[in-house]
């Protein structure tokens, strides 16, 4: 079947989803480049900012990445001075990963995400509370699907390499 026939069969929702995902990926590629990070490193920092100090296993669970990939990711963030490994405050036997204080990164982040946040706030103010609840449900469920498929692909790649 020709690619054009496959595209013609795509539903408007599929096409909108693909367009949305493309814009997100390209945006984060440009953001990562502006910050001297890969998109995955940048998003891992976002996970750490949202969750606070967490174990490498929790990062893997949250992202769908393998523990080996997360270890390498953390190593790169530590080496670049953006994160550090520390003892958990509640269980000294446990090691957590946390962001370091980095004034330059904070300035870059604000210059990039401040205007985006304002634009998103303006956009979201055009929806009712009920509509926002549906949008939030869709985003949560879409994130779960993406994480599950990230895991599936990584498992397939690991099986192929064996």
Dump pLDDT digits (tens) for 135-153: 999 999 988 998 899 889 9
How is the chain split among helix, strand and coil, in percent rounded to 5? 75, 5, 20
Each residue of 3-58: pLDDT tens digit?
A: 566 566 778 778 878 888 899 889 988 988 888 888 889 889 989 999 999 999 99
* CA 108/CA 105 separation, integer angstroms: 5
**56-63 helix and 39-51 helix, angle to the nearest 10 degrees:** 110
Question: Per-residue pLDDT for 85 more than 90?
Answer: yes
Give the C-alpha separation, 41 to 64, whole Å: 14
């Amino acid at each position: 079947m020709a690619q054009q026939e496959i595209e013609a069969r795509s539903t408007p929702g599929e096409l909108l989803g693909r367009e949305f995902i493309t814009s997100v990926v390209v945006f984060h590629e440009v953001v990562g480049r502006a910050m001297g990070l890969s998109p995955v490193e940048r998003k891992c920092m976002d996970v750490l900012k949202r969750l606070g100090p967490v174990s490498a296993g929790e990062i893997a669970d949250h992202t769908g990445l393998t523990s080996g990939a997360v270890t390498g990711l953390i190593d790169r963030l530590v080496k670049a001075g953006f994160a550090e490994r520390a003892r958990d405050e509640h269980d000294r036997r446990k090691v957590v990963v946390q962001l370091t204080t980095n004034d330059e990164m904070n300035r870059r982040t604000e210059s990039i995400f401040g205007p985006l946040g304002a634009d998103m706030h303006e956009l979201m103010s055009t929806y009712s509370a009920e509509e926002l609840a549906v949008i939030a449900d869709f985003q949560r469920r879409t994130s779960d699907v993406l994480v599950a498929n990230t895991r599936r692909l990584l498992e397939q790649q690991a099986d192929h390499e064996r």
